[in-house]
């Protein structure tokens, strides 16, 4: 039943039969059964960031930031569909046994489309990076996959955290994120708007913090005016967990739990993740809310349940355990991992040729770590393949593989009674006996993640700086000093300071958190079975020196669009093993030449690129289109307005049509108004940004030309 009007009619009819107390109880995330009306219990809280999470076995895809690096909207849609399939299968199996516990419903609190504006933010790896257009396109595709196109919603997706939310984690319960109208409309809101208007996302979750003085889960500006008013959102709104309690305990905008519950409900928050809505009836008694307020929220929630087919049955009821972590789903997760890995440096050492090697040294705290594969908000895999295991499997008995942990992830020693550093000597011995060293460093979800969800209590999941933990820096220097070629694999969900590695390592790879069996893909890339093709969805800064204060939500000096200093590795950058060249570009059907001009109407703006693989190996590349308006309101460095992944056989040439942003020519003024105030635009087409650093690192230039409207 994708007919919202009919679902809403039935919801209204059902809710009308409930008592006030029954309606109020349905607004809790753990909604109880109402046996007399045939309403089963339902828990609204489930997670599906990169696979069905926290409810047993599921296919574990690369962390969201890794999938973003694939620059592949179709992949995101396929991943969303797989996750919804597994979610339905698990829901069906659990429901048969009367298990309606947390993490076992069909309302997935994903995706996270917040903007990764500062590399210190611990939860950034849950996002699709720093660019609003990329985030919106990938989020839209993921939602379409999750919700499906059947008679009923396959699952209900949720865009979070609305709206201006990206750290600091330690302050989130009391923090006021102050953003200008321009930054709101240019950076923080576009992805949410796209998911509401174009993807039809069924739910939106509010953030913990305040935005411009209003707590996000009780903001009339965000929820009433923008979300439900401007964007005509018809789904349900959910609070972040225990965020409403923060109104009176942290933000101090209310005095009591009753006032907080009333503020959220009246603003349009329908379901409370937390327990503050236990006070709704008292709020009613105090005349802070009306029965109509409670009824309206309950009707929205039951509309979603009807759309999911939870009272009628649906075409998905036959899905069972056979569909969970099946062969096809694992193959897609492997493809996602392959597309996500970003090659940052290669002096020619990669790909490794097995026949030329006698011994490989695999070193580092993340080399044999399962935790470093999965990121946060993850499910449980039936099998994990670490980088060490992947390399061992790939080379078999033909090449000796030596291994050393090298150091603890962040402590100065591995063994508590030893003197630190206690694994350096072993790592040096491994290097001495190896032809090449694969050094696996980085973080994991215990060092970067969500406040309260991480062991990194001193920074609440955020990073204090961009440096690797000191023991890892010592290990990196020790390996570089051995004289053996070092291939660094950085397993993090965020940008790190990799200056030393860029200067001293033969190759540098950013693998993110590549999923449960990501070690197999990394081994295949190292040995040339796969050519890397990922692109950075975030800027890798040289350090934090030029960054604005973490608490400053102004975009000035942040992300590639506003950056004033040269980055170490730019947004959109990534190398391959081959040589793919841009052969020609047409714009609006007209040939575009370097430095030339193309005159066309706005509605005729389109980009086609012909690319050729001059290599003897198959390659994937990502064609990227950037645009810069001749306007004082334009972002200083231009913006991504189109991307398309293309697969090429050896020697193959292909013409790809790049989907372009319908708002490519628009800018946002200081009042937050979207407009076109220029007739001249510089368009750049290539395999990365049109910046000098990308040119230096890749040896390739974008094709730049002017479009005149």
CA–CA dist 389, 262 (Å, integer): 54
Separation in Å, CA 119 to CA 122, 167, 495: 8, 10, 6
Token look-up 């026949």 returns: 355
**Is there a contact between 231 and 243 (Cβ–Cβ < 8 Å)?**
no
Catalytically annotated residue among 240, 339, 462, 661: 240
Angle at 314 between CA 203 and CA 37, to 5 degrees: 75
- 78: Cβ contacts below 8 Å, ≥ 6 apart: 145, 332
Of the candidates 204, 197, 125, 130, the residue with the CA atom closest to the CA atom of residue 161:
204
φ, ψ dihedrals at 528, nearest 5°: 85, 5
620 is catalytic: no
Catalytically annotated residue among 22, 448, 462, 497: 448
Q: Which residues pair with 39 in a beta bridge?
A: 34
Token look-up 């292909």 returns: 654
Question: What DSSP assignment string belongs to 419-452?
Answer: PSS-SHHHHHHHHHT-SEEEEEEE--TTTSS-TT
Half-sphere exposure of 622 (CA within 13 A, CB side): 31
Reading the block at residue 55, the tokens are 């409810």
Q: Report CA dihedral (471, 474, 479, 480) to the nearest 10 degrees.
A: 140
Rounded to a whole number of angstroms, the CA Rg of the chain reads 26
Q: Which residues pair with 36 in a beta bridge?
A: none
Question: What DSSP assignment string belongs to 332-392?
Answer: HHHHHHHHH-EEEEESS-PSP-GGG-SEEEEESTTTT-SHHHH-SS--B-S----HHHHHH
CA 570 to chain centre: 18
- Please, what is the angle between helix 132-147 and helix 190-197, to 10°? 30
240 is catalytic: yes
- 166: Cβ contacts below 8 Å, ≥ 6 apart: 114, 115, 116, 117, 118, 121, 123, 124, 127
Number of CB atoms found within 10 A of residue 225's CB:
12
Conformation bin of residue 232: beta by default, left when phi > 0, alpha when psi is -120 to 50: left
Number of CB atoms found within 10 A of residue 358's CB:
10
DSSP 8-state code for residue 96: H
CA–CA dist 701, 692 (Å, integer): 9
CA–CA dist 410, 242 (Å, integer): 31
* DSSP 3-state of 13: helix
Q: Report CA dihedral (347, 348, 350, 354) to the nearest 10 degrees.
A: -130
**Is there a contact between 115 and 65 (Cβ–Cβ < 8 Å)?**
no
* DSSP 3-state of 90: helix
What positions carry a catalytic annotation? Answer: 240, 448
């Amino acid at each position: 039943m994708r007919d919202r009007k009919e679902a809403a009619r039935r919801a209204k009819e059902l809710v009308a039969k409930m008592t006030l107390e029954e309606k109020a109880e349905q607004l809790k995330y753990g909604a109880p059964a109402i046996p007399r009306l045939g309403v089963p219990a339902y828990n609204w809280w489930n997670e599906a960031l990169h696979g069905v999470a926290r409810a047993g076995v599921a296919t574990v895809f690369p962390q969201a930031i890794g999938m973003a690096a694939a620059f592949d909207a179709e992949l995101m849609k396929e991943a969303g569909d797989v996750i919804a399939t597994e979610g339905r299968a698990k829901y069906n199996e659990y429901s048969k046994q009367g298990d309606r516990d947390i993490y076992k419903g069909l309302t997935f609190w994903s995706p996270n489309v917040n903007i990764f504006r500062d590399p210190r933010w611990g939860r950034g790896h849950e996002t699709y990076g720093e660019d609003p257009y990329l985030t919106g396109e990938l989020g839209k595709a993921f939602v379409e996959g999750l919700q499906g196109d059947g008679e009923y919603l396959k699952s209900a997706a949720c865009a979070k955290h609305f709206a201006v939310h990206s750290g600091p984690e330690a302050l989130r319960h009391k923090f006021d994120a102050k953003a200008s109208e321009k930054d709101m409309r240019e950076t923080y809101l576009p992805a949410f708007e796209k998911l509401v208007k174009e993807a039809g996302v069924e739910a939106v979750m509010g953030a913990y913090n305040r935005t411009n003085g209003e707590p996000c889960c009780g903001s009339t500006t965000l929820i009433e005016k923008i979300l439900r008013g401007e964007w005509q959102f018809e789904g349900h709104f959910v609070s972040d967990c225990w965020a409403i309690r923060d109104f009176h305990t942290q933000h101090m905008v209310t005095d009591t739990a009753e006032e907080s519950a009333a503020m959220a409900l009246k603003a349009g928050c329908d379901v409370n993740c937390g327990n503050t809505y236990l006070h709704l009836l008292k709020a009613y008694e105090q005349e802070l809310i009306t029965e109509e307020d409670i009824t309206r929220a309950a009707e929205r929630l039951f509309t979603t349940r009807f759309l999911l087919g939870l009272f009628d049955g649906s075409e998905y009821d036959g899905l069972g355990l056979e569909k969970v972590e099946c062969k096809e789903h694992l193959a897609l997760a492997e493809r996602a991992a392959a597309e996500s890995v970003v090659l940052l440096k290669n002096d020619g050492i990669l790909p490794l040729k097995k026949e030329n090697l006698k011994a490989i040294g695999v070193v580092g705290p993340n080399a044999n770590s399962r935790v470093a594969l999965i990121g946060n908000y993850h499910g449980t895999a039936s099998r994990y393949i670490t980088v060490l295991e992947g390399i061992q499997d790939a080379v078999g008995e033909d090449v000796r593989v030596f291994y050393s942990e090298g150091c603890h992830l962040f402590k100065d020693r591995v063994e508590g009674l030893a003197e630190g550093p206690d694994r350096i000597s072993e790592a040096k011995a491994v290097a001495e006996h190896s032809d090449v060293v694969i050094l696996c460093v980085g973080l994991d979800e215990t060092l970067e993640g969500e406040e309260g969800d991480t062991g990194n209590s001193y920074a609440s999941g955020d990073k204090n700086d961009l440096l690797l933990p000191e023991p890892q820096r010592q290990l990196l220097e020790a390996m570089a000093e051995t004289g053996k070629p070092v291939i660094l694999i950085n397993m993090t969900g965020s940008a790190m300071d990799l200056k030393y590695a860029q200067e001293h390592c033969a190759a540098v790879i950013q693998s993110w958190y590549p999923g449960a069996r990501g070690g197999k893909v990394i081994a295949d890339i190292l040995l040339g079975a796969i050519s890397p093709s990922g692109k950075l969805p975030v800027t890798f800064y040289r350090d934090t020196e030029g960054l604005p204060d973490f608490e400053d939500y102004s975009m000035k000096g942040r992300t590639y669009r506003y950056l004033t200093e040269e980055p170490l590795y730019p947004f959109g950058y990534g190398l391959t093993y081959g040589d793919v060249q841009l052969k020609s570009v047409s714009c609006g059907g007209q040939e575009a030449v370097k430095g030339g001009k193309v005159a066309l109407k706005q509605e005729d703006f389109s980009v086609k690129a012909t690319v050729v693989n001059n290599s003897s190996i198959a390659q994937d590349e990502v064609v990227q289109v950037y645009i810069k308006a001749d306007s004082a309101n334009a972002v200083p460095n231009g913006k991504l307005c189109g991307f398309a992944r293309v697969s090429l056989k050896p020697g193959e040439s292909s013409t790809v049509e790049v989907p372009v942003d319908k708002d490519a020519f628009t800018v946002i003024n200081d009042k937050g108004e979207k407009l076109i105030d220029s007739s001249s635009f510089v368009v750049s087409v290539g395999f990365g940004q049109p910046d000098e650093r990308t040119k230096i690192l890749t040896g390739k230039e974008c094709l730049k030309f002017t479009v005149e409207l």
